[in-house]
């Protein structure tokens, strides 16, 4: 279960097949943050405080292994079932005009959400995630085999108690620079260490991961009529840039691709300020979120990070030729300067929240 107070007050909502816990903070246009396998809402703890002064931020803990409340019937638990839960959550919380922001396994679930539950989502932000035949990626295929057993998750949770292992490839080393703080690591791994029911939930979910679902969704992404932002990393393990390009092409003319430098798969961990700036520009009512027209790049601020490159590189798609076209480096002379100034202000006022996350 997420523990970050920066995500807001802890609440519960009843959806098909489960009771979901979620955190909510802020007022304004709604943002729904979707995490992936073996993490929870704490993945977004650095991003939400930068947006909650202007947006209503809702961050659920989905039944993907780092949750606290077991599902009703795990024999029905699957990526498509979790997409249905998100659709129910949007309806129950009246998240009209919602922008969904998703990462990793959550991105695959978000693709199922927009293709199987049309009309639920108004805008979509996909960070590095499973898609098409890449579900799970080859680097994580052993997890898809071993993770079918609940016993494996107990063993993995126990084996990863030493903090130094968290930054290795057997834990989060392929997904982020460095290691999560101790309290966040316990938030993510504690449930499978302590609860047999949670271990059975995540094993049931893994058994039903099937790339045929994401391949089928990929063939229908063009039917989603809302704006789409693909915010991809340069070198996330298992999620090369080519998949970001393919997603943008699959969605069509309403999609644009941004490449975030200095990050692995978990952009919310490695480059939270840059990601928040992109989301703010994209999700603000009245902004031009289409692929190329009027898309000036925001130059976000960044936290000190010796592993991250200092700048980002913008890419857009020329849909006429269906080939990616490089544009200039993001510049502070763009029309989205107000986002940059606001982000710098938000960074200062929310520093206390981030320090405690």
Task: Give the tens place of pLDDT for each residue, 95-147.
Answer: 999 999 999 999 999 999 999 999 999 999 999 999 999 999 998 999 999 99
Judge whether residue 185 has pLDDT over 70: yes
Residue 167: its pLDDT value, please?
A: 86
Beta strands at 18-25 and 9-15: parallel, antiparallel or unpaired: antiparallel
Confidence of residue 299 (pLDDT cuts 50, 70, 90): very low
Residue 182: its pLDDT value, please?
A: 94
Name which of 31-45, 63-77, 165-179, 238-252 the model is least confident about: 165-179
Q: Judge contact between 30 and 96, C-beta under 8 A.
A: yes
Name which of 200-204, 220-224, 343-347 the model is least confident about: 343-347
Q: What is the pTM of this model?
A: 0.83
Beta strands at 313-318 and 323-326: parallel, antiparallel or unpaired: antiparallel
Q: Which long-range contacts (CB under 8 A, 24 or more apart) does 222-226 make?
A: 222/250, 222/251, 222/252, 223/115, 223/118, 224/114, 224/115, 224/118, 224/121, 224/124, 224/251, 224/254, 225/254, 226/114, 226/121, 226/122, 226/123, 226/124, 226/254
Q: Judge contact between 70 and 198, C-beta under 8 A.
A: yes
Residue 342: its pLDDT value, please?
A: 46
Q: Total structural domains in the chain? A: 1
Residue 287: its pLDDT value, please?
A: 66
CATH number at residue 151: 3.40.50.1820
Range of the domain at 31: 5-356
Rounded to whole angstroms, the Cα distance separating 315 from 230 reads 10
Judge whether residue 205 has pLDDT over 70: yes
Is the preceding omega at residue 327 within 30 degrees of 0, hence cis?
no
* Sign of the CA dihedral with 174 first, then 36, 316, and 309 last: negative
Residue bearing tokens 């990526």:
79
Judge whether residue 250 has pLDDT over 80: yes
Q: Judge contact between 126 and 231, C-beta under 8 A.
A: yes
Confidence of residue 288 (pLDDT cuts 50, 70, 90): low
Q: What residues pair up with 10 in beta bridges, in sequence order?
A: 23
């Amino acid at each position: 279960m997420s523990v970050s107070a920066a995500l807001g007050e802890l609440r519960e909502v009843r959806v098909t097949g489960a009771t979901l816990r979620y955190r909510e903070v802020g007022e304004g246009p709604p943002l729904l943050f979707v995490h992936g396998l073996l993490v929870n809402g704490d993945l977004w703890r650095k991003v939400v405080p930068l947006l909650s002064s202007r947006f209503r931020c809702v961050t659920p803990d989905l039944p993907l292994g780092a949750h606290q409340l077991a599902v009703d019937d795990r024999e029905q638990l699957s990526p498509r079932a979790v997409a249905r839960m998100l659709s129910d959550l949007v309806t129950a919380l009246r998240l009209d005009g919602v922008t969904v922001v998703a990462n990793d396994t959550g991105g695959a679930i978000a693709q199922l959400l927009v293709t199987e539950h049309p009309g639920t989502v108004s805008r979509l932000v996909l960070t590095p995630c499973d898609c098409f035949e890449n579900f799970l990626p080859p680097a994580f295929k052993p997890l898809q085999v071993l993770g079918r057993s609940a016993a494996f998750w107990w063993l993995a949770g126990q084996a990863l108690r030493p903090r130094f292992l968290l930054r290795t490839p057997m834990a989060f080393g392929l997904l982020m620079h460095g290691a999560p703080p101790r309290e966040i690591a316990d938030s993510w791994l504690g449930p499978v260490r302590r609860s047999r029911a949670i271990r059975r939930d995540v094993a049931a979910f893994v058994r039903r991961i099937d790339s045929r679902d994401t391949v089928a969704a990929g063939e229908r992404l063009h039917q989603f009529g809302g704006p789409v932002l693909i915010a991809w990393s340069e070198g996330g393990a298992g999620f090369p840039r080519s998949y970001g390009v393919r997603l943008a092409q699959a969605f069509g003319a309403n999609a644009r691709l941004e490449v975030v430098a200095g990050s692995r798969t978990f952009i919310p961990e490695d480059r939270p300020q840059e990601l928040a700036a992109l989301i703010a520009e994209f999700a603000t009512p009245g902004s031009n979120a289409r692929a190329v027209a009027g898309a000036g790049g925001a130059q976000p601020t960044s936290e000190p990070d010796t592993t991250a490159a200092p700048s980002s590189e913008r890419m857009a798609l020329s849909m006429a030729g269906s080939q990616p076209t490089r544009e200039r480096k993001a510049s502070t002379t763009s029309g989205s300067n107000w986002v940059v100034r606001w982000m710098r202000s938000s960074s200062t006022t929310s520093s206390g929240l981030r320090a405690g996350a």
